[in-house]
Amino acid sequence: MNGSMLDWPLTLDRILVHAERWHPDQAVVGAAPDGTMARRTYAECADRARRLSAALVAHGIEPGDRVATLGWNTLPHFEAWYAIMGIGAVCHTLNLRMDAAQLAWIARDAGDRLLLVDPALLPVAEAMRALCPAIEGIIVLGAGTDALIAAHDPARWGGFGEDQPAGLCYTSGTTGDPKGVLYTHRSNFLHTLAIIQPDLFGIGAADSVLPIVPMFHANAWGIAFAAPAVGAKLVLPGARLDGASVHRLIAGEGVTMSAAVPTVWQGLLDHLDRVGGGLAPLRRVVIGGSACPPSMQRRLTDHYGIEVRHAWGMTELSPLGTVAAPSAASAALSPEEGGRLLQSQGRPPLGVDLKVVSDDPDAGPDTPGRLFARGYATVGRYFGRDTPATDAEGWFETGDVAVIDRHGFLHITDRDKDVVKSGGEWISSQGLEAIAAEHPAVAHCAVIAADCDRWGERPLLVVQLREGEDCSDASLLEPFDGTVPRWWVPDGIVRVDAMPLGATGKIDKRALRDAYRDHLRAS
């Protein structure tokens, strides 16, 4: 027997319709290519998105068809998302840091029919289309979509089931070919309800929310759904994500909450070091995508009064897996112990389940092991693949190495492939990075496994110093003194002018390994 409640599919069009009905005058602002701010309301965005939907339908786009976007976080991109998803088509967010050949491979794999692109990215879009003739047309976000919006009456949204696909996002492909994760309306809708909760991102109608994390990086971690869902002001930063631009946006648009990877926050902190000033009215930031060094967390909290929420997740989890937020348990601990919990990756919300499996049957609970996840917003099967992405019990192996402590907080110690395996023992590269980042002269750092004849691998510290700073190797190694066992201390240090960044703005450890794998042998 089924229950007898209304049949009300959890489809994403309802999110913008809700904002249009209950928060019609709330602002959605976006940085335009010329640096000015474009301003609209949720009511205007919803009307425009429906008209763009009609243009897509007129082109012949049908439910389930893939329509790609290649763009920064902008107003036209936001409207395009809802225009595509509202008619049951799939919004495939392409990663603009990839080159034309990589993009064409992904667009072919996805079977994209149309491509909506930022004006500044038109050259790469055209080079990509030359390699992917199945793409029927390119529409420029802004001028192109404005013309279509002006020429069409609003389309009707919805009328399809919540298990229909809504979005497609490819993993960055650090191992093997990129793989597509096909989100459903239901999985993204429920993910939205999860992240707005107080212990997660904690977003409300009085907030002004700045998603710096790109819309192509796992749906801007869900924020372009969450802000309209609660009627918060949405501030879309466009292409300029340097410290000065982010600082200006925070003050100018009254930003109270924001989310980005650590390298972005480092850029903002460096900028503040140079020019002074504060971060008001910013209250809370979500930092994830790679480990947030405790030193960064302390600077934001102690100097600027910002509440840092350290989050862990991945494209395959839609992306949220865990968030570190205060609890009765953390408050009851000593400040030091409680602080360690808040520096960890935190706990999962309802709907995410985690387990750590050790290959060593004698391993204690504090021994890092392979991390598995499952839940309503976890990938079941990659796009176009026949086999499940999970094991027989529905657990997805994340590729991360972690410990879950007795309070239920997750501590990621490494990405599987980044662990330094020294003489059969594991050394946590992320643990060492957190320590190296304590040195005041260090702007960015990474620890990689360098090949070593005697021990197999040894840790090598790669650092980018702050502008104008210089210091000896001995000084850079000082923070390790007494903090970790002697055999964990990096065997060498490489200084770089600029860290290589991957497609989602994280430090590209694979590039560093390729460049410096033989460094300890050579020296």
- Which residues carry out catalysis? 171, 316, 421, 426
Cβ closest to ligand AMP, residue 346 vs residue 479: 346
State the DSSP string of 488-502: GS-SEEEE-SS--B-
Q: Which of residues 212-241 bind ligand AMP (CB under 6 A)?
A: 218
Pick from 26, 188, 315, 327 the residue near ligand AMP by CB under 6 A.
315
Residue 523: burial class (beta carbons within 10 Å; 0-12, 13-18, 19+) = exposed
Cβ closest to ligand AMP, residue 310 vs residue 519: 310
Minimum CB separation of residue 304 from ligand AMP in Å reads: 20
Q: Which of residues 394-413 bind ligand AMP (CB under 6 A)?
A: 398-400, 412
**Angstrom distance (rounded) from CA 402 to CA 416:** 9
Establish if 314 lies at the interface with ligand AMP (CB under 6 A). yes
Pick from 231, 431, 504, 520 the residue near ligand AMP by CB under 6 A.
504
Binding range to ligand AMP, per CB under 6 A, among 1-9, 314-322, 356-364, 484-492 = 314-322
Pick from 178, 222, 228, 288 the residue near ligand AMP by CB under 6 A.
288
Pick from 203, 291, 377, 443 the residue near ligand AMP by CB under 6 A.
291
Minimum CB separation of residue 398 from ligand AMP in Å reads: 5
Measured distance between the N- and C-terminal CA atoms of the chain, rounded to whole angstroms: 72
Task: Number of residues interacting with ligand AMP: please give it, by CB under 6 A.
Answer: 21
Establish if 289 lies at the interface with ligand AMP (CB under 6 A). yes
Pick from 202, 214, 319, 375 the residue near ligand AMP by CB under 6 A.
319
Query: Which segments of 379-441 are extended strands (E)?
Result: 396-404, 410-415, 420-422, 425-427
The Cβ of residue 464 has, within 10 Å, a number of other Cβ atoms equal to 18
Binding range to ligand AMP, per CB under 6 A, among 24-32, 42-50, 332-340, 393-401 = 393-401
Does the bond joining 349 to the residue before it have cis omega, within 30 degrees of 0?
no
Cβ closest to ligand AMP, residue 165 vs residue 502: 502
User: What are the φ and ψ backbone dihedral angles of 326, each rounded to 5 degrees?
Assistant: -60, 150
For the window 437-456, what string marks contact with ligand AMP as x by the rule CB under 6 A?
Answer: --------------------
Contact 157, 86 (CB under 8 A): yes
- For residue 399, what are its two tokens? 């590729």
Torsional sign, CA 226, 232, 238, 244: negative
Closest-CA residue to 418 (of 510, 345, 505): 510
Binding range to ligand AMP, per CB under 6 A, among 124-132, 160-168, 312-320, 441-449 = 312-320
Burial letters 322-360, b for 16+ CB under 10 A, else e? bbbbebeebeeeeeeebbbbbbbbbbbbebbebebeeee
The Cβ of residue 225 has, within 10 Å, a number of other Cβ atoms equal to 25
For the window 161-180, what string marks contact with ligand AMP as x by the rule CB under 6 A?
Answer: ----------xx--------
Burial letters 78-114, b for 16+ CB under 10 A, else e? bbbbbbbbbbbbbbbbbbbbbebebbbbbbebbbbbb
Minimum CB separation of residue 289 from ligand AMP in Å reads: 5
Cβ closest to ligand AMP, residue 77 vs residue 415: 415
Pick from 77, 113, 340, 415 the residue near ligand AMP by CB under 6 A.
415
Cβ closest to ligand AMP, residue 319 vs residue 459: 319
**Angstrom distance (rounded) from CA 93 to CA 183:** 12
No. of helices (H) and no. of strands (E), the chain:
18, 23
Binding range to ligand AMP, per CB under 6 A, among 21-29, 72-80, 225-233, 289-297 = 289-297
Minimum CB separation of residue 416 from ligand AMP in Å reads: 8
> What residues form DSSP beta bridges with 286?
259, 309
Cβ closest to ligand AMP, residue 254 vs residue 380: 380
Minimum CB separation of residue 181 from ligand AMP in Å reads: 9
- For residue 246, what are its two tokens? 């982010």
Minimum CB separation of residue 314 from ligand AMP in Å reads: 3
Minimum CB separation of residue 291 from ligand AMP in Å reads: 4
Residues in the site for ligand AMP, rule: CB under 6 A?
A: 171-172, 218, 288-291, 310-315, 319, 345, 398-400, 412, 415, 504
